[in-house]
Amino acid sequence: MRAREWAVAASFGDPSEYGIPDPPAVRACRLDCGGLALSSEGDELFIAAERPVRVRR
């Protein structure tokens, strides 16, 4: 739900003008096995995928 708020607020100006905080910083890295991992500012992994696949929306 927060992502939708950021997208809508960004369409009409600066999200901070509407009281919406900045999105968290997320870092993506590739694993040795070809997987993908996401980590937060403190380098703590919070999600990882060993065999990610492309999807079409």
pTM score, two decimals? 0.46
In a domain, 12, yes or no: no
What mean pLDDT do residues 49-54 have?
81
In a domain, 43, yes or no: yes
Supply the pLDDT for residue 42.
Answer: 67
Task: Report how many domains make up the chain.
Answer: 1
In a domain, 44, yes or no: yes
Contact 40, 46 (CB under 8 A): yes
User: Tens of pLDDT along 13-42?
Assistant: 777 777 777 777 788 888 787 788 888 776
Task: Look at residue 1 and tell me whether its pLDDT is greater than 60.
Answer: no
- Radius of gyration over alpha carbons of the chain, in Å? 15
In a domain, 49, yes or no: yes
In a domain, 48, yes or no: yes
Rounded Cα distance between 57 and 49, Å, is 19
Q: Provide the 8-state DSSP code for 38.
A: E
Range of the domain at 33: 24-57
In a domain, 14, yes or no: no
Supply the pLDDT for residue 55.
Answer: 84
In a domain, 34, yes or no: yes
What mean pLDDT do residues 2-17 have?
77
